[in-house]
Structure 1
Amino acid sequence: MESRKNILDRIKQNQPHQNFVQANYFIHPILISNLVEKFKATLTAIGASVFEIATLEELNHFTINSFPNCDDVLTYIPGHVELERKSNGHAYQNIKVAILKGDLAVAENGAIWITDKNMLDRALPFICENLVLVVDQNDIVQTLHDAYSTIEIAEYKYGTFIAGPSKTADIEQSLVLGAHGPKTLTVLIQKSDLIRTDHD
């Protein structure tokens, strides 16, 4: 123990001077004139399905038409459809369709940010067979830089970006969907009268 202490003390005594200088950098802004259309085009290109809805009341109609004869559907939209959280993520292992609320979305790459407050359990968006994310069109930002400037001041315990269905490909150019998560991703963009075309 004495030799260990001596080594650690010597390391502490020989630390370099930590005079860090703030890096100066400039990010050329990406100006997207229509965030919704860009977001839809990007999602389609990476294998997701995109639809627009006027109100959250259309969710039931969408579910019946898109996933007929499917009984294992879980919908959790805080403020609209509330459910009691399970104590273990394994309780959701048989969910065929999970419909959740995305916190915000990124037009440039189709990524959707979702936090623990909107997913019941952090395993749910990855353990279900089909994932449906609802995004308000006013929560679509232009770039990841814009997204991080928003989420860095938010309060959450866990969050992740999701873009497209789970997929993997090998050197033989064979694409497999659902390899590590949901086989499909559907995004429902909730329309609003207040359309935002840029990020303030």
Structure 2
Amino acid sequence: MEETIRILMTDDHPIIIEGYQNTLLATKKESQNLIIDIANNCDQSIAFMNKSIEEENPYQILFMDISLPPSSDGTITSGEDLSKFAREILPDAKIIILTMFNEPFRIHNIIKEINPEGFVVKSDLTSRELASAFQAVVNNPPFYSTTVTSYLRKTHASEIEIDDKDRKILYLLSQGIKTKSLTKHLGISTSSVEKRKKQLKEIFSITDGQDETLLSEAKKLGFL
């Protein structure tokens, strides 16, 4: 029996998205009929989603790139925002995130904020990986690519629990942001930043008090 699957792919690189489309059509099961729409920006993607709801024929699978330019009204600033919007208006759709970002902080945030049924870091991407991700998400989600799985394994194996602000402090420090500049990125006072950094050094058992040692240990344990 034929199964029709309605798919929306959103990516601002037409050549890349054409490759995704060709891969899915070439590797689909014989029983699958894929109807694929393509959006190159947030506005097009939102219009397609709204139209599918109006026509009472909603998408079942959404492929979302994270690096997208903002929507024209400025309310959607990235693929992350677009995915959250999709979760609200298409609650039954399964989301597959495709992203260049491979830093643990970004991976953690995407899982926490969106909890996608599929999550593929583009550096892991091959035609086979994309085909596997699609079939897994259709039949038995979730599907995480190698980089995402490795991050999850590392952080789950670690006994260390830190909150989102602490993760952001580690991430910003690793990007070369100085301590005195962290306050404007985090919206907390300098003394709060210093207190959190001190606690992080205790949590990660840093004895020399150096930021470099803290970052090195956090990286070893999968937090960076």
Q: If the TM-score is normalised by the length of the shorter chain, which range does it land in?
A: 0.3 to 0.5
State the TM-score, normalized to the length of structure 1.
0.33
Considering Cα pairs closer than 8 Å and 6+ residues apart, tell me whether 1 or 2 has the greater RCO: 1
* Structure number with bigger Rg: 1
State the TM-score, normalized to the length of structure 2.
0.30
More strand by share: 1
More helix by share: 2
